[in-house]
Structure 1
Amino acid sequence: MTRYPKKGKGTKWTQKELLAIPTQWVNDTLADGDGLIGEVRVSKVGDVSIRFKYGLKWQGKKCWYSCGTFPLNDISSIRNQRDKAKGLLKQGIDPRTQKHIDKIEAKAEQQTILEQQKKQQQRNKTFTDLFTTWIEQGVVRQDANTELRRTFEKDVLPVIGSVLIKEITEDHIRTVYKTILARGTTQNPRERTVVKLAADMRQLFKWADMRQPWRSLLINGNPALLVNEKQLISADYTEERDRILTPEEIQTLYRLIQQEQNHYNNATNKRGIKLPLNPATQCAIWICLSTLCRIGELLMAKWEHIDWEEGIWFIPRENVKATRGKKQDHYIYLSDFSVRYFIRLNTLTGHTQWCFPSKDNTSHVDIKSVSKRIGDRQVKFKDRTKPSQQRRHDNSLAVGNREWTPHDLRRTGATMMQELGIDINIIDRCQNHVLAGSKVRRHYLKYEYKDEKQQAWAKLGKRLEEILALSNEIL
């Protein structure tokens, strides 16, 4: 049915009339004059809309030109579309073809605007944008980049995170390093932090300089290469740690651990007494010292890696800390000393698959957990201003005049082997070092030095037994 406005045929529909059209008029036609008609539609939820079209003749055929849908389009704009079509017809232009051309041109214009916006966004990329991309695509560390994120989020992004890449200079990089050094104290001058960060910054910018859009934004080249961090730190700085525990310090350490444990065990009321060092951590200390392993390798170990019959601990290459492509499986021939602490550890965690399980037993503990526990008990070597209530804050493991770490135990054990007359090449193999020499030599010379390594670990274990025996006498 064709319907007309209230004023009758030949008049135009008003906005108010169109809005009042009932759903019962679905599929009816509305005549608006000058060839413009509308078809009433009703949606599933009862909303009324009217699709308007203009009837025209093109090359002798009746055609329809869509003018828009009410109320999505205002009725006046719909009529303007009809008038535009009439004007094109007078010029001998098919309005339908012109509309198609207009759409193509509008789309092309929109694409041009989007491309311009994209280029502008690329030109306005900041250091934070670069770091985020690099950390996701350009670098893979053994700890899943956790430490890298922490360092940059703490020391770098607050200083230069908002700086545009195209504007970044060596002065920005130097400011980052100086800001870190300004936080330094006598105990911790932060020089090692700056040296490590400088290496990471060079790696980041080297990666960026090889890829777009970063390469085009680094108009002045790699700014990290222009900063020599060694000019900012003291002349007597040494990059490598050289801390080893003397036999007397090992005795003292053993004594401190045992005294704290005995004090706790013998206390009738344990509520007011600090907990002793975690028993599993106690085992970790002596296993690290007696096997020369890295703490991360130990904390990721599974009980299936221990061959009790042969006295062998197998460290799979995926647990080894080394350069990618140079990781290798490692077999440690356990001394009686090491076996004793593995047995003690097994009584604590043997019900799980992990030697050092997480709280829910679904994985191993965080590989930094033991280092943190040990560090929390040597606060006189720290510069903490606000000790955490959930962590220890004392000197119950402090021995000597310098802080020691689990990795220092590895160095200590290797040094003790050297003092026992063990060949340095055997010590390197006990530490699972990738030995120097040509690839051809490493490829063909496959002798494993099993007996020599077994004897080396046995000698070290025996020496530790002697040292701790003296501690037991004092206890």
Structure 2
Amino acid sequence: MPLGAWPRVTLAAIRHQFDETRLRVERGGDPADQRRLVVEKLKVEKAEIARQQQELAERSRELADSQLTLSALFAAWHAEALADNTAKGAQAVRRLFELHLLPGAGGTRVGDVSPSDIRNAVRALIEAGKISTAITLHRYTNSMFGWAGRRKPWRLLFDINPVEDVDIERMVPAGYQGWSERVLGDDEIFELRNRFQVIRNTWDFHSGPRRGIARPIPREHELAVWITLATLVRINEMCTAQWQAHVSFEKATWNHLGLAGEEPPVDHRSPLGFRAAASP
């Protein structure tokens, strides 16, 4: 076995190492085996230290994750799940949460969010007469926890979606109907068209200051009104529609891709009338 390299190691040190090695051999020891045992022991100790460091890092990460709040969950969900929404639509959802849920429960750890936290926010809206807003908040909150239940670290922070224990149907007043069955008559549709035209012409052809004159709505908004009336789709579906992806004029169908916030999203294909399909 090597005892050292001269001149890096002095001859005196080499002789001393030789004498110690010779004594161990004379006493029945094997220096090579001893060195191998030392090396193996060092490897085991090094691996154990690495394992302990990894466990410590995992515990630290789990501790940090366990402190994540409902506000942190909302920020992560909003950034990813609503990335394909229009900027205005995503902002409306942010405002909904920031006004009605996060002020009371935003600082609560995700694992500590209870059905009561959700129920209180929904009940406050219902008592204020904002039933439609309450239903929307319930639906989006359920969607958020559904999203979290499929992703780390969020799915490790709670066992049951707290929204599942909030029965929105029992909370809304009996007989509540979230839609209108009123139908515009032909004379009302003609009047609407005439008003659009009169307001636009008055604005466009007026000379001088326009103070006090009604401003016409943007042309794209006016077109949205007629598309909505022609196809009977809801305004949110119309505003988020991508014509090439969602509307097929060849098949005369409109794929609404379900309600925003539905988990999982469900396709809703509606047939277009002859005039609507031929309008382009």
Q: Which TM-score band (shorter chain)?
A: 0.5 to 0.7
* 1:285-343 Cα deviation digits (max 9, x unpaired): 334434545555587447xx9xxxxxx955887x63134564559554227xx85xx6x
Paired residues, what number? 238
User: Which structure has greater helix proportion?
Assistant: 2
Within 2, Cα distance between the matches of 1:288 and 1:199? 24
Q: What's 2:142 paired with? A: 202
Within 2, Cα distance between the matches of 1:215 and 1:111? 22
- CA 1:109–1:280: 2 relative to 1, 3 Å: closer
The alignment status of 1:241 with 2:180, answered yes or no, reads: yes
Do the aligned residues in 1 keep the contact of 2:231 with 2:272 (CA within 8 Å)? no
> What stretches of structure 1 of length at least 5 have no aligned partner?
1-57, 65-91, 306-311, 343-475
User: Which structure has greater strand proportion?
Assistant: 1
Within 1, Cα distance between the matches of 2:144 and 2:252? 30
Do the aligned residues in 2 keep the contact of 1:123 with 1:217 (CA within 8 Å)? yes
- CA 1:288–1:233: 2 relative to 1, 3 Å: closer
* 1:229-273 Cα deviation digits (max 9, x unpaired): 344443342123334323443344234323323322442214434
TM-score, with length taken from structure 2: 0.62
Q: Quick one: which amino acid aligns to residue 131 of structure 1? A: F
Larger radius of gyration: 1
- CA 1:231–1:333: 2 relative to 1, 3 Å: closer
- Which one of the candidate residues 144, 151, 159 is aligned to 2:104? 159
Q: Residue 334 of structure 1: SS of its match in structure 2?
A: helix
Q: What's 1:226 paired with? A: 165
Within 1, Cα distance between the matches of 2:191 and 2:270? 34
The alignment status of 1:258 with 2:193, answered yes or no, reads: no
Question: After the TM superposition, which residues 82-101 of structure 1 pair with which residues of structure 2 at under 5 Å, given as runs?
Answer: none
* 1:439-458 Cα deviation digits (max 9, x unpaired): xxxxxxxxxxxxxxxxxxxx
- CA 1:294–1:177: 2 relative to 1, 3 Å: closer
Do the aligned residues in 2 keep the contact of 1:127 with 1:161 (CA within 8 Å)? yes
- CA 1:232–1:214: 2 relative to 1, 3 Å: same
- CA 1:199–1:278: 2 relative to 1, 3 Å: closer
Within 2, Cα distance between the matches of 1:326 and 1:230? 24
Identity over aligned pairs, percent: 22
Within 1, Cα distance between the matches of 2:192 and 2:113? 49
1:104 Cα shift?
A: 4.7
1:117 Cα shift?
A: 0.1
Q: Residue 177 of structure 1: SS of its match in structure 2?
A: helix
* 1:129-153 Cα deviation digits (max 9, x unpaired): 4334545666887659725444334
Within 1, Cα distance between the matches of 2:220 and 2:151? 47
Within 2, Cα distance between the matches of 1:275 and 1:327? 36
Q: Quick one: which amino acid aligns to residue 171 of structure 1? A: S
- CA 1:172–1:261: 2 relative to 1, 3 Å: same
Q: Quick one: which amino acid aligns to residue 200 of structure 1? A: Y
- CA 1:269–1:230: 2 relative to 1, 3 Å: same
TM-score, with length taken from structure 1: 0.40
- Which one of the candidate residues 101, 109, 117 is aligned to 2:52? 109
Within 1, Cα distance between the matches of 2:122 and 2:275? 44
Within 1, Cα distance between the matches of 2:2 and 2:252? 81
> What stretches of structure 2 of length at least 5 have no aligned partner?
9-30, 259-264
